Amino acid sequence: MTADSTVSTQGADYAATASTAYQNILQVIETVEPRIAAATRKELADQRESLKLIASENYASPAVLLTMGTWFSDKYAEGTVGHRFYAACQNVDTVEALAAEHARELFGAPYAYAQPHSGIDANLVAYWAILATRVETPGLAELGAKHVNDLSEADWEKLRAKLGNQRLMGMSLDTGGHLTHGFRPNISGKMFHQRSYGTDPVTGLIDYDALAAAAREFKPLVLVAGYSAYPRRVNFAKMREIADEVGATLMVDMAHFAGLVAGKVFTGDEDPVPHAHVTTTTTHKSLRGPRGGLVLATEEYAPAVDKGCPMVLGGPLSHVMAAKAVALAEARRPEFRSYAQAVADNAKSLADGFLSRGGNLVTGGTDNHLVLLDVTSFGLTGRQAESALLDAGIVTNRNAVPADANGAWYTSGIRFGTPALTTRGFGADDFDRVAELVVEVLSNTTADGSSKAKYTVADGVADRVRAASGELLDANPLYPGLVL
């Protein structure tokens, strides 16, 4: 099945128009800095020639990409729709309101905030909105004040101490959680006392009973669900039950799987939006939009989320919000549902392809868009496997596996995702072939005992695999018809 790659489904006219647009844009850039024009051409050529399996990447449509290259970039618009700290924001208001409208309609959310510049920013907005709603507002009332500026120095210090003394619980990093879910190297770990929940050591799956018991003991203000490397679906209805029982706000970070939510692959208990108080996402992963973030919220949290800028965000990137609106409009089309289903079907095919060739998968498979292969059975670290695959033109990223003996830098796993190649039109058989090529590289790679980074790929393997991937890539061209 050819999934919606947006360019191909729009037909030859669309591709020809996009070609002309890009040729003109590159010509203009060339007049100032030809090396940037050259790098831009080369990036497309490189992306066209590699098997992109990074689970968090995709290919946005020319409509989305071109929308980012306009004079909306020049406009300051701190504040929110209809309430800006700058004059002449009428067109930015139109753009931001449209992006939010599409997001609300697509995800069935009461409120959407389109300003975050990234997933990290979206999570920061969410954390501060939760702290504002649950701690600051009641704290002000207790102190008999309406605004933080009305507080005495002593009372402000009391409130600051309270804001800095809250608890957050999220998935552990080695089982698939994200750095922004309360880990010390990230600001979230400095803001909150954090405790992690993991997965069952035998099945690799979230153990909701163990999670509930830990939450009862820890009593977090914020319970975070969501992941960047867990290859399974999450029951968000159960997560909400647990949050309600312990008095926590449920925040879901759906950055990785927003496309599967938008495309109705995840519905009912697996759709986070009706269950979470606040849902955050990036817009560029499985959702296939521009690089950026988005926050969805209930009416209760909406007013605090709306203050994201200037609370934690710099001035909104209006050109990117415009591109978010275009991408969200694309995701509301029926073709996007076929695309999202193909992403999940292809991940299953990739996982089955590894399993049938002796691969060892975390959780034994997948039911979302990603697959986590434990490469220690090939005698390799994740770092060695990632580099060997790259030598053969296969772009992936190394990732920790649960209780990883090689730590977070070298790791023992490789994370694979299907959103990008599915956009190119890869189907289930193609992904089985991809599994075959990956296994061919890894089983012909030998670790160098002197270093967790060094390795040797047997002679001729990288070239042979590059040639075989070339056939798959040629059959599923990236931006077909786009000629620079």
Chain residues in the site for ligand DSN (CB under 6 A) = 56, 119, 178, 228
- Residue 14 is among the residues annotated as catalytic for this protein: no
Catalytic residue (choose from 281, 282, 283, 423):
282
Rounded to 5 degrees, what are φ and ψ at 397? -140, 145
Q: Which of 2, 41, 76, 391 is catalytic?
A: 76
Give the residue with the Cβ less far from ligand DSN, 151 or 258: 258
The verdict on whether residue 173 carries a ligand-binding annotation is yes
**Of 282 and 412, which CB lies nearer to ligand DSN in the complex structure?**
282
Minimum CB–partner distance for residue 56 and ligand DSN (Å)? 3
Which CB sits closer to ligand DSN, 215 or 261? Answer: 261
Annotated ligand binding at 179? The verdict is: yes
| CB 178 to ligand DSN: min, Å | 6
Please give the C-alpha separations between residue 306 and each of 124, 149, 223, 227, in angstroms, as whole numbers.
13, 19, 21, 25
Q: Is 299 annotated as a binding residue?
A: yes
Which 3 state secondary structure label does DSSP give 111?
Answer: strand
- Amino acid present at 60: A
**To the nearest whole angstrom, how small is the minimum distance from the Cβ of residue 194 to ligand DSN?**
17
425 is in an annotated binding site: no
Q: Which is nearer to ligand DSN, 14 or 183 (CB)?
A: 183
- Shorter beta-carbon distance to ligand DSN: residue 84 or 232: 232
- Is 366 one of the annotated active-site residues of the chain? no
Catalytic residue from among 104, 162, 291, 332: 291
According to the annotation, is 178 in a ligand binding site? yes
Give the integer Cα–Cα distance in Å for 255 and 419: 13
**Least CB distance to ligand DSN at residue 362 (A):** 15
Select which of 75, 232, 240, 285 is catalytic: 285
CA angle 338, 340, 343 (to 5 degrees): 110
Is residue 253 part of the annotated active site? The answer reads: yes
Q: Which of 276, 244, 255, 310 is nearest to 110 (CA)?
A: 276
Q: Which residue is nearest to ligand DSN (CB)?
A: 56
Tokens of residue 454, six digits: 């060094």
Distances from the Cα of 377 to the Cα of 22, 318, 413, 456, angstroms:
46, 48, 10, 16
Q: What is the rounded distance in angstroms from the CA atom of residue 425 to the CA atom of residue 8? A: 9
Q: Where are the beta strands (DSSP E) in 365-476?
A: 370-374, 394-395, 397-399, 413-417, 445-447, 455-457
Shortest spacing between CB 259 and ligand DSN, in angstroms: 13
Of residues 30, 78, 300, 436, which has the active-site annotation? 78
List 253, 330, 345, 430, catalytic entry: 253
For residues 426 and 4, the answer to whether their CB atoms sit within 8 Å is no
Spatial separation of the C-alpha atoms in residues 130 and 252, rounded to whole Å = 12
| Nearer to ligand DSN among residue 252 and residue 472 (C-beta) | 252
Least distance to ligand DSN from the beta carbon of 119, Å?
Answer: 6
Total residues found in the chain within this entry: 484
- Is 300 catalytic? The answer is no
Query: How far apart are alpha carbons 456 and 458 in whole angstroms?
Result: 6
The DSSP bridge pattern shows strands 370-374 and 360-361 to be: antiparallel
Mark the binding-site residues for (6S)-5,6,7,8-tetrahydrofolate, compressed into ranges. 173, 177-179, 299
Mark the binding-site residues, compressed into ranges. 173, 177-179, 299
Catalytic machinery residues: 76, 78, 253, 282, 285, 291
